[in-house]
Structure 1
Amino acid sequence: MDHLTYEDVTAAVGRVAGRVRPLAVAPGGDGRTWFALEFLQYTGTFKARGAINFIRAHQEAGTLPEAGVTIASGGNAGLACAWAARAQGVRATVFLPENAPAVKVARLRAYGADVRLSGGEYAEALESCRAYAAGSGALASHAYDHPLIAAGAGTLMEELRSRLPGLDTVVVSVGGGGLFAGVAASAHEHGVRVVAVEPEDCRALNAALAAGEVVDVPVASVAADALGARRVTPMALHAAQRYDVCSVLVPDGEIVRARQDLWEEHRIAVEHAAAAALAGLRAYRPAESERTAVVLCGANTDPGDLTRPA
């Protein structure tokens, strides 16, 4: 499916209602910029929205197997899948490489997931996950490349509009494009421009726009743990080509500075992927009268490097 519709997002709104934390917003300090504090979401990122929508939709359709759901991810998507499965009383089996950090394994198990370590890198864990899904009948989930995952993420935009009537522009970081596709589908319906921000060396969407098709890109950035997709989803490219979208690239130095500034000026501690959106706002430079929201999408980070030496 290359085309995510607004109806997909509105259907997701009903499924996630009362099951995710409502979006909080805070003023950015200049009177025309706001922060969407989605890092306060369950599991620390927006991905909880897509995960709960994915599971609920399959429960409604009667297509959720007894074996539950499975995913290969040691990152935010795996945490969200495990959390959503527990919330809905569903089994979750999460595959990780054997060298996965113990803290991630412990957190997944705290959510009730069956954690299975396989291989020395993510690709091997993914193959094991696929084999498990085929053998057990478990429903395979994905970090971002699924319409239900993207539509769930788009519910964030629906809440943002209700919090900030008259919003002109929303700024969002882009990795594989799940959050972007969902936000763009909602934003387009309401005449809100989307600024899509990527690190200079993780430019899957920007490169796809230049090529006119999905292409593979090299990945190297301080934000690569969350924004390091080698290719963007067709859904995201479709949205970027057809909606009012501005693609912006930012250097790692600006991402690091934005993350530091969020801490120093607002006492907001976020991961580099979230700070990339603020760095993108500075590159985009909205007009004086433009009412803009920056989505701070996740907080799964080590805050130890946020305090500058005295």
Structure 2
Amino acid sequence: MPNHADVEAAHTRIRPWIRHTPVIAPAERAGGFPPSVLFKLEVTQRTGSFKARGALNAMLAAPVPAAGVVTASGGNHGAAVANAALRLGHPATIFVPETAPQVKVDRLLRCNASVHRVGRVYADAYNAAVEHQRHTGARFLHAYDDPLVIAGQGTVAAEFLAQATGTDGFGGLDSVLVAVGGGGLLGGVLAALAPHGVRVVAVESSGTPTLARALAAGHPVEVEVHGIAADSLGARRIGDHGFALAQAHLHANLLVEDDDIRTAQRWLWQDMRLIAEAGGATALAALTSGRYQVAPGERVGVILCGGNTDPATVLS
């Protein structure tokens, strides 16, 4: 599984290709947050989510065949792969479930990717992508269980820690809240922060509890997924690498409800004029719902990991 050195190598590799996303404090201490909370705005990352990091690292770190790359994605990973492939000059084929939001599919098409809608859930698209790889020899890029992808995702935490350390009044981070779907982001964040003693708290939608079920069983298990965040956090099984890293380093795992996530999305818009997709607001929902209580003086970072949604769904 990827480690801290892998994340550092990925950070050096992709730095010229990604956006150094900003870190901000809640506006005027809105929402009742203490002054020791910082947000990492991956909603402003290239392609609208942290996924750009992992896709670029995977393609820059290993050869890509003439057949290009292929992946399965509910949208964000596919957009990241398609964009990275376009920038690096590789063909890209993306399989998405029929439930993928049109706003995400449109991003794929703008990157000249070959897009195929298959089945109702991520697993259906995944099986079709694997079959395509077998027939064409394209390089398969797993959305959340590829060590190079995970190391790339971890660069968001390395960047966040450096920014927080340089922010007046902070001097670092004690805890980081991160949303969980398939576990790629979580795994990367754990790999990046474990040597620094930063506590990592995983936050899941109650409709996509892949990590919670795996922790209860002692190993990854299949779960049925549903709810507001299923389009981005809807993997039916936590990845092996992310789960192993969670077993080794995770501080806590929290579940939030759909209504909590909607509240967090609306708060971000009303108080900070930021649009986040449901998965992107899931970590914040642990704070706005009170599921996570900030201890006195605790320096807490929240990764707002994606913004690819129709604003009307947030404002309605």
- 2:60 aligns with 56
Give the 3-state SS of the residue equivalent to 1:171 in structure 2: strand
Q: Which residue of 2 aligns with 1:247?
A: 253
Return the letter of the residue paired with 2:78. Answer: G
How many angstroms does 1:15 deviate by? Answer: 1.4
Q: Which moved more, 1:126-135 or 1:166-175?
A: 126-135
Indicate if the aligned counterparts of 1:205 and 1:236 stay in contact, CA closer than 8 A.
no
Give yes or no for contact 1:275–1:296 (8 Å, CA) kept in 2: yes
Aligned 8 A contact 2:122 2:234 in 1: no
Q: How many residues align?
A: 302
Once the two structures are TM-superposed, the CA of residue 75 in structure 1 deviates from its matched residue by: 0.8
Structure-2 residue corresponding to 1:25: 23
TM-score by length of 2: 0.89
CA contact (8 A) 2:4 2:193 kept: no
Give the whole-Å Cα distance in 1 for the aligned partners of 2:175 and 2:109: 39
In the other structure, the counterpart of 1:275 is 281
| Structure 1, unaligned runs of 5 or more | none
Q: Does 1:234 align with 2:240?
A: yes
Residue 97 (structure 1) shift: 5.4
Shift of 1:291: 0.5
> Which whole-Å CA distance do the structure 1 matches of 2:266 and 2:99 have between them?
30
Q: Secondary structure at the match of 2:291?
A: helix
For residues 123-162 of structure 1, give each alpha carbon's deviation from its aligned partner in whole angstroms, at most 9, with x where no partner exists.
5544443232222211011111111111100000110011
C-alpha distance in structure 2 between counterparts of 1:130 and 1:21, whole Å: 30
1:117, CA displacement in angstroms? Answer: 4.9
Structure 2 SS opposite 1:81: helix
Going from structure 1 to structure 2, the CA distance change for 1:98 and 1:304 (only over 3 Å counts) comes to closer
| Paired amino acid for 1:48 | A
Per-residue CA deviations over 1:71-113 (Å, capped at 9, x if unaligned) read 1235111111000111111111223457866654443121121
Distance 2:118 2:256 in 1: 35
Distance 1:251 1:268 in 2: 21
Distance 1:222 1:98 in 2: 16
Q: Is the 8 A contact 1:178 1:233 kept in 2?
A: yes
The normalised TM-score by structure 1 is: 0.91
Deviations 1:145-193 (CA, angstroms, capped at 9, x unpaired)? 1111111000001100110012111100000000000001111111110
Distance 1:230 1:42, change over 3 A: same
Q: Give the whole-Å Cα distance in 2 for the aligned partners of 1:120 and 1:274.
A: 22
Q: SS at 1:194's partner residue?
A: strand
Which whole-Å deviations, capped at 9, do the CAs of 1:180-213 have from their partners, x for residues lacking one?
Answer: 0000111111111011000123111112112211
The one of 4, 7, 10 aligned to 1:9: 7
Q: Residues 126 and 219 from structure 1, CA distance in 2 versus in 1: closer, same or farther, beyond 3 angstroms?
A: closer
Q: For 2:211 and 2:189, locate their aligned partners in 1 and report how far apart those are by CA, in whole Å.
A: 15
| Structure 2 letter corresponding to 1:238 | A
Change (3 A) 1:244 1:115: closer
Task: Label 1:126 to 1:175 Cα distance change in 2 as closer, same or farther (>3 A).
Answer: closer
User: Helix, strand or coil: the match of 1:306?
Assistant: helix
1:217 aligns with 2:223: yes
- From the superposition, tell whether residues 19 and 212 of structure 1 become closer, same or farther in structure 2 (CA, over 3 Å): same
Asked if the contact 1:222–1:252 (Cα under 8 Å) also holds between the matched residues in 2, the reply is: yes
The whole-number CA distance in structure 1 between the counterparts of 2:119 and 2:215 is 35
State the SS of the aligned residue for 1:55. Answer: helix
Cα shift at 1:259: 1.0
**Is residue 2:198 matched to residue 1:192?**
yes
Deviation at 1:39, TM superposition (A): 0.7
1:299 paired residue number: 307
Deviation per residue, 1:213-261 (Å, 9 max, x gap)? 1112221221111112211112222222221421111111111111111
SS in 2 for 1:235: helix
Q: Does 1:137 align with 2:137?
A: yes
Structure 2 residue matching 1:287: 3-state secondary structure: coil
Change (3 A) 1:295 1:98: closer
Deviates more, 1:238-247 or 1:255-264: 238-247
Residue equivalent to 1:34: 38
Work out whether residues 175 and 232 of structure 1, in 8 Å CA contact, stay in contact via their aligned partners in 2: yes
Specify whether residues 98 and 196 from structure 1 end up closer, same or farther in structure 2 by C-alpha distance, changes over 3 A only.
closer
Determine if contact 2:203/2:254 at 8 Å carries over to the other structure: yes
Runs of 4+ in 1 over 2 A off after TM superposition: 95-107, 114-132, 305-308
